[in-house]
Structure 1
Amino acid sequence: MRARRGPAVSREHEEKRRLRRDLREMRRGLPADVVAARGAALARRARELDELAEALREGPARTVAAYVSIGGEPETGALIEELRAAGVRVLLPVLLPDNDLDWAVYEGPERLVPAGWGLREPAGPRLTPEAVAGADVVLLPGVAVDRTGLRLGRGGGSYDRVLARLERSGRRTALVVLLYDDEVVDAVPAEPHDRRVHAALTPSGVHRFRH
């Protein structure tokens, strides 16, 4: 009997996998002090993004969904702490066994606890996966974005579910990916489930996309 073959993998999927590998390799080569410095620059640049500047002004009237960076990702600690200090309600993800994301309120770095895969998660009550639909701004991880706003994610599919959930909600939520400057590229491979973001925030400034 012939062995069963797995599902066919598209050319775009393979291209995405190679691009992720190359960009992650570049991130792994960044010294810790460079990652920290770029994270501080990212927090400063946040005020150049109208949606985040509005959240910082209005404080408790706003909710921002963010995430805790890992590895060589752009450092988010300074940014989420600045938002919390301004009174913004910050939601952070909690990874579920099926790779979907629940959410909990960020209550400070001392209230982050270790989780699987090197992640850190809020220790507070879980709010359900649907809680993200109440956010005014969603800050997304990624490894690249192209000039049309097409985001290349980490590859686990968690944020594909988040973006689909936000789309179903019908709410006009600002979608912003956090990246390094050289990760804003001309084009990334696209598959049918991929969705575009409204902006990218990098250490040098804001990149807006029309779609």
Structure 2
Amino acid sequence: MAALRAAKQALRREVKRRVAALSDEEKRRQSLALSRQLFGHPKYRSCKRVAVFLSMDDEVGTEEIIKDVFKCGKSCFIPRYESSSSHMDMLRLNSLQDMETLPLTSWNIRQPAEDDRSREEALASGGLDLILMPGLGFDQLGRRLGRGKGFYDTYLQRCIRHAKGKPYTIALAFKEQLCQEIPVDDNDVLVDEILYESDE
């Protein structure tokens, strides 16, 4: 266990270093290219209920995706992380304006306040068709390196128990976030597909 943790930590540092070397312009360019790739993806086109992360500086930007979700009339859910545990809910976002009024967390991302009870939680209603996954690193087999809190792995376990079953998961990655191999254990849930800009 300790060896696995140490291996993950070393890889996190390495990937963070690679992403930190990217200019804002390059991150924006790759984010737009990935957004366009996603918009043509059959799973995205057919989904009605989608969970999207609100991106941090070192993640693929999701702003255009969220705009498109509303434009297409899909239901949009965003994460609310509980900082004291690995618990996360996916709460309904009503509009772009709604997003701009959400409070900022200590991680500098917007999320519904802890006492905001008015929002629909995805699993309390119709479940999810698609989850767009953040992460620090990914490999070609769908293994994901998170930030170490286990939010998404724990949430996906809950999805698996939901009547609708596990939603399709697509990770959005800068090509600098691709790794040869990511060390995982039994709690790590694999991602169905990783979208990145290939050089082909």
8 Å Cα contact 1:103/1:126 also seen in 2: no
Matched with 2:18 is 26
In the aligned structure 2, how far is the partner of 1:113 from the partner of 1:25?
A: 29
In the aligned structure 2, how far is the partner of 1:112 from the partner of 1:203?
A: 31
* Cα displacement (A) at 1:99: 3.4
The answer to whether 1:37 aligns with 2:24 is no
In the aligned structure 2, how far is the partner of 1:194 from the partner of 1:133?
A: 25
Between 102-111 and 142-151, the greater mean CA deviation after superposition:
102-111
Matched with 2:104 is 114
Deviations 1:21-44 (A, max 9, x none): 110122122221222222111111
8 Å Cα contact 1:132/1:166 also seen in 2: no
Amino acid at match of 2:58: G
Matched with 1:83 is 69
Q: CA RMSD in A?
A: 2.3
User: Which of residues 174, 183, 187 in structure 1 aligns to 2:177?
Assistant: 183
* 1:194–1:15 distance in 2 versus 1, CA, 3 Å: same
The answer to whether 1:103 aligns with 2:104 is no
Higher strand share: 1
User: Which of residues 35, 44, 57 in structure 2 aligns to 1:52?
Assistant: 44
Identify the structure with bigger relative contact order (alpha carbons < 8 Å, sequence gap 6+). 2
* Cα displacement (A) at 1:131: 4.4
Amino acid at match of 1:181: K
* SS of corresponding position for 1:46: helix
Counterparts in 2 of 1:56-205, with a 5 A limit? 62-96=48-82, 97-106=84-93, 107-108=95-96, 109-122=99-112, 125-128=118-121, 130-131=123-124, 134-169=127-162, 171-204=165-198
TM-score by length of 2: 0.85
Deviations 1:93-147 (A, max 9, x none): 1122423112322221423431222121247733347449711001111122222
Could you list the runs of 5+ residues in structure 2 that have no partner in the other structure?
none
Segments ≥4 residues shifted beyond 4 Å: none
Deviations 1:45-79 (A, max 9, x none): 11342201223xxxxxx100111010221111111
